[in-house]
A and B are shown apart, each in its own frame.
Chain A
């Protein structure tokens, strides 16, 4: 029985339960639904939820646990001598899984279980057969590995049957129990409410746990990196020069400097322009102007970053080189920090302006009236009353723009180049942390060398950087917040 079919059956049971539950509730008060504690539908809901939710949860837990359990049972079947030189048990187990999947494909091609049994005997043939079914297996298949794969298939099949049985029993038990509870005064409405709360808690937990998981994996791989490469060199060296042959120098400072430099330039562009256009939209523009200017600005946010990258590469870069960098004698490269910073600044304008506009609009009109009533002009009112009141939100908007700028990759690759350098000259090519993460992880790379693993250390550094920015902003907001009701 496949998982999909099982899901359908349980869902069907749930729906049937909904109908039965509703009917039973109505019948328990002889059709007078005013005597029920809750609306009849709620009784249906409780039955549906009790039938499906535990069964689904079980299925999720089971499918997560199943591979782990099965592999621990099979692992013993492969002797240490069967593991090739330079490989690990984990890699062999991956082979086992692939062969098992391949066997599934063979069976699916209609060659039946009889063939499969034969395959078990004449193991040498297995590669050709798997290749026929579209599964490529590298290297000779050892008999023990094949045996393990067959066992893996068998166990998986048994496990699936067992899962189906247990899930169905659970669903039926839930169905029976919840139907038996239904009578007129059963508080089905409150029970549904409690379920909704748990659903919401569950969803927020998923978000939190994912973050924790990402951080954990970053920390884990970073620790791995620091075992291969001295942390002191990473943090205190000022050169970035990875060599895949070994002997590379992986100092983070050129990258951090590039990131901060590009982001700073982009914020210098985006914050004043975005904030002032937000003020215009919120305080000065008529409703009609606002209704077309605001969407027009927001279109900027919808342009893919690669298009901005093209703009930087083709237009802004050469322009800056020909009109500023060369005449001023500051460089002759069309890729420069300034190019990437300017284009990125344009990209993040809508983040600043759109959010700030909403925040400024949320400042109560009574504060503006109060200030205007004292004889202040509109701009005095904005400067002295509206902006201080909107400050926390504006700082949030700027931060969002900052984290967009720090995390941006494509514009930097195309606008600022990929050369890691420590320089103050804004017309020189530099690069950022994100660009280097991409370049260290793409291509044919071995996943155990410091040159690759450094990407995780870079990722963690970037994460720490943005976290630090967030904390700083929270502090600023707390300190300078001017609260209004």
Chain B
């Protein structure tokens, strides 16, 4: 368990996203109940828990992706750097540019590799000319550890890449808008172990620049990549703390049952 080295830096870092008494309803179904979480800057936070426990739902609240579901309603307070993201004055479109998202299944657009990465900068007008855009694309692909594999075929379709490459392309695409927080919804569940290892390595590197929130089904993965872990069960946040503490010395009996494989 040498991966579980305590990160002492964590304590001094600033809070990026703060959720207080967050509630989510799907119609009359109360999916998330009273969740309080602090997402720290330059930290990987993992959400774990059995299927259907609400961890993905909560993740999607953080960049208001749940707005696209008509029956979904969010209550409570979620702030990004002190600003309520559900405030009517906040434009969800702008918010999503600040809080990027990577999905469970790789979903490259049916465009070239270059255009996939350039998509965000183009729609937000982040670059002034082609040369600058080229630079952004290259640096994002480098950060996503994909540059060496695709530099000779930037104009080939992104859908032609392998599953792992596609997911790294989606990560490059997400970081191209220079978000402050990167949300990842089970980013490795559709990948083989080698691709998973590459993406995990990447997540660890991304931590130096972004705050990363990752939903995962694999407890090993949570233990490997995260510094903070939140355990969800039946819509409740059961326990939230240092990853090392959650995995070695859980305070709640439900957490212990889950990480030892008795529930979920």
The interface of chain A, by Cβ under 8 A from chain B, is 286, 364, 366-377, 380, 384-385, 388-389, 482-485
Contact = CB atoms under 8 A, between A and B. Distances in A.
B207 interface: no
Contacts of B63: 373
Contacts of B177: 374-375
Interface stretch (B17-25, B73-81, B116-124): B116-124
A373 B97 CA distance: 7
14 contacts: A286-B70, A367-B107, A369-B65, A370-B170, A373-B101, A373-B103, A374-B173, A376-B93, A380-B123, A384-B109, A384-B123, A482-B109, A483-B157, A485-B159
Interface residues of B, number: 29
A484 B103 contact: no
A370 B93 CA distance: 13
Given A367-B109, A369-B107, A377 B159 contact: no
B133 interface: no
B100 A373 contact: yes
A482 B110 CA distance: 5
A346 B150 CA distance: 48
Interface in B50-108: 63, 65, 68, 70, 93-98, 100-101, 103, 105, 107-108
Contacts of A374: 96-97, 100-101, 119-120, 123, 173-174, 177
Contact of A375 (B97, B105, B108, B159): B97
Contacts of A368: 68
A371 B111 CA distance: 12
Nearest to A391: B110
Contact of B107 (A286, A366, A482, A483): A366
Interface in B114-170: 119-120, 123-124, 157, 159, 170
Nearest to A370: B107
Contacts of B95: 375
Given A367-B109, A370-B170, A376 B103 contact: no
A484 B159 contact: yes
A384 B122 CA distance: 11
A389 to B, nearest CB: 5
A375 B92 CA distance: 8
Contact of A389 (B101, B103, B110): B110
A368 B68 CA distance: 10
Given A369-B68, A370-B107, 13 more contacts: A367-B110, A370-B109, A371-B109, A373-B174, A375-B95, A375-B97, A375-B98, A375-B120, A388-B109, A482-B157, A483-B159, A484-B110, A484-B159
Contacts of B96: 372-375
A377 B107 contact: no
- The 10 A-B residue pairs with the shortest CB-CB distance, nearest first, are A375-B97, A482-B110, A373-B101, A366-B107, A375-B96, A370-B107, A484-B110, A374-B120, A389-B110, A376-B123
Contact of B68 (A372, A385, A485): A372
A385 B170 CA distance: 14
A388 B123 contact: no
Contacts of B173: 370, 374
Contact of B119 (A286, A364, A371, A482): A371
Contacts of B105: 366
A180 B263 CA distance: 61
Contacts of A366: 103, 105, 107
Nearest to A368: B68
Contacts of A367: 107, 109-110
A367 B70 CA distance: 18
A405 to B, nearest CB: 29
A295 B111 CA distance: 34
Nearest to A366: B107
B68 A375 contact: no
Contacts of B109: 367, 370-371, 384-385, 388-389, 482, 484
Nearest to B109: A385
Given A371-B119, A374-B174, A376-B123, A482 B111 contact: yes
Contacts of A377: 93
Contacts of A369: 65, 68, 101, 103, 107
Contacts of A388: 109-111
A377 B97 CA distance: 11
A366 B177 CA distance: 19
Contacts of B93: 375-377
Contacts of B94: 375
Contacts of A483: 110, 157, 159
Contact of B103 (A370, A384, A482, A485): A370
A375 B177 CA distance: 9
A387 B255 CA distance: 46
Nearest to A375: B97
A482 to B, nearest CB: 3
A291 B147 CA distance: 47
Nearest to B183: A373
A370 B65 CA distance: 10
Most chain A C-beta atoms within 10 Å of own C-beta, residue among B97, B103, B109? B109
Contacts of B123: 374-376, 380, 384
A362 to B, nearest CB: 13
Most chain B C-beta atoms within 10 Å of own C-beta, residue among A368, A374, A376, A389? A374
A376 B109 CA distance: 13
A369 B70 CA distance: 14
A482 B65 CA distance: 25
A373 B65 contact: yes
Contacts of A484: 109-110, 159
Most chain A C-beta atoms within 10 Å of own C-beta, residue among B63, B96, B110, B174? B110
Nearest to B67: A372
A291 B68 CA distance: 19
Interface string B162-205: 00000000100110010000000000000000000000000000
B147 to A, nearest CB: 20
Nearest to B97: A375
A193 to B, nearest CB: 36
A393 to B, nearest CB: 13
A105 B114 CA distance: 80
Interface string B15-38: 000000000000000000000000
